[in-house]
């Protein structure tokens, strides 16, 4: 039997009850976690939108790590199903407002590039709103292909856009 793979998932929300949407994502991920001793949950941060249309509401962001035997494509299907249940629409374009956005950041040491999923996430290393919560739970992690740890990558980024602590326990 395949061993559970440490998998990091970024959560974001900027529509509706943002914290409730993150909690729904957290609960789904907890239900998929096959190694509870690996389960890690970052604090929630509020961040200004990045590469979004003017007037876009601020996001709440967090990162969760689970141990799962699901292949990344199967996990992604579970994540997309929850996004749709919470009201995310299939709309063309990137960085649109949404009740919940769930992105796989890494899956063990896997490196892959497919039509619908790239592992590790291709922009994780340049996003403070991803690296800050990830550094809270895995500061020494080196993402596959990265030349530095998560904490070191975070230290390289400019201080803006700001990432503000929103909730430690959620």
Q: Which residues contact 144 (CB under 8 A, 6 or more apart)?
A: 106, 109, 110, 111, 119, 120
Which domains can be identified in the chain, with CATH numbers?
A: 5-167 (3.30.70.560)
Predicted confidence (pLDDT) per residue in 120-137, tens digit: 999 999 999 999 999 999
Binned at pLDDT 50, 70 and 90, residue 155 comes out as very high
- Say yes or no to pLDDT of 145 above 80: yes
**For 53-108, how does the pLDDT look when each residue is reduced to its tens digit (9 = 90+)?**
888 899 999 999 999 999 999 999 999 998 888 887 776 566 677 899 999 999 99
- Beta carbons of 107 and 121 less than 8 angstroms apart: no
pTM for this entry: 0.92
């Amino acid at each position: 039997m395949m061993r559970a793979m440490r998998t990091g998932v970024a959560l974001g929300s900027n529509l509706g009850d943002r914290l409730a949407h993150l909690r729904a994502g957290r609960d789904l991920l907890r239900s998929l976690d096959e190694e509870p001793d690996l389960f890690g949950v970052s604090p929630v941060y509020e961040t200004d939108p990045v590469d979004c249309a003017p007037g876009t509401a601020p996001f709440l962001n967090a990162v969760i790590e689970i141990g799962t035997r699901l292949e990344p494509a199967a996990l992604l299907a579970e994540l997309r199903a929850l996004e749709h249940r919470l009201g995310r629409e299939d709309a063309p374009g990137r960085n649109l407002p949404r009740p919940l956005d769930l992105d796989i950041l890494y899956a063990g040491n896997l490196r892959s590039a497919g039509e619908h999923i790239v592992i590790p996430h291709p922009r994780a290393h340049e996003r403070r709103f991803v690296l800050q919560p990830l550094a809270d739970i895995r500061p020494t992690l080196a993402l596959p292909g990265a030349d530095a740890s998560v904490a070191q990558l975070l230290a390289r980024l400019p201080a803006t856009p700001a990432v503000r602590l929103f909730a430690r326990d959620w």
